[in-house]
């Protein structure tokens, strides 16, 4: 079985979102004898980053799923990172804080009636 061309795959998936596709830089790091691969992307414009990530991180999540599924077909664990990506995955959660991150508010209770 041959190893998939991850660079061509990533370029095919990402370049349509870029105004300047030639600015896309792809770096690979192979670990564990080729059984794990880290793919890192970098490109120039912040507008491009918004299109690559998509609303709520949908685009980058779909790209990552395709890359990981391709790796699984060949018994390779593939990971994709974007240079300058926000940490903690808040982009993938749609920018919403986790429920544990939200400040807890007291539950609403109606005003108490005075007894006469």
Q: What is the pLDDT of residues 38-92, one digit of tens each?
A: 999 998 877 788 899 999 999 999 999 999 999 999 999 999 999 877 655 444 4
pTM over 0.85: no
Assess whether pLDDT exceeds 50 at residue 96. no
Cα 65 to Cα 88: distance, rounded to the nearest angstrom = 18
Query: Helix, strand or coil for residue 81?
Result: strand
E strand or H helix that includes residue 91: none
Q: Where are the alpha helices (DSSP H) in 1-116?
A: 6-14, 46-53, 58-73
**Nearest-angstrom CA–CA distance, 78 and 69:** 8
- In this model, does residue 115 exceed pLDDT 80? no
For 36, the enclosing helix (H) or strand (E) is strand 36-42
Please give the angle made by the CA atoms of 49, 4 and 77, to the nearest 5 degrees.
70
């Amino acid at each position: 079985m041959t190893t998939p061309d991850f660079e061509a795959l990533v370029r095919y998936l990402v370049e349509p979102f870029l105004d300047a596709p030639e600015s896309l830089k792809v770096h690979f790091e192979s670990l564990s004898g080729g059984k794990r691969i880290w793919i890192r992307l970098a490109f120039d414009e912040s507008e491009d980053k918004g299109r690559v990530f998509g609303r709520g991180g949908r685009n980058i999540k779909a790209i990552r799923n395709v890359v990981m599924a391709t790796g699984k077909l060949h018994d390779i664990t593939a990971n994709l990172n974007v240079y300058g990506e926000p940490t903690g995955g808040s982009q993938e959660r749609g920018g919403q804080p986790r429920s544990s991150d939200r400040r807890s508010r007291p539950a609403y209770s109606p005003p108490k009636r005075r007894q006469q």
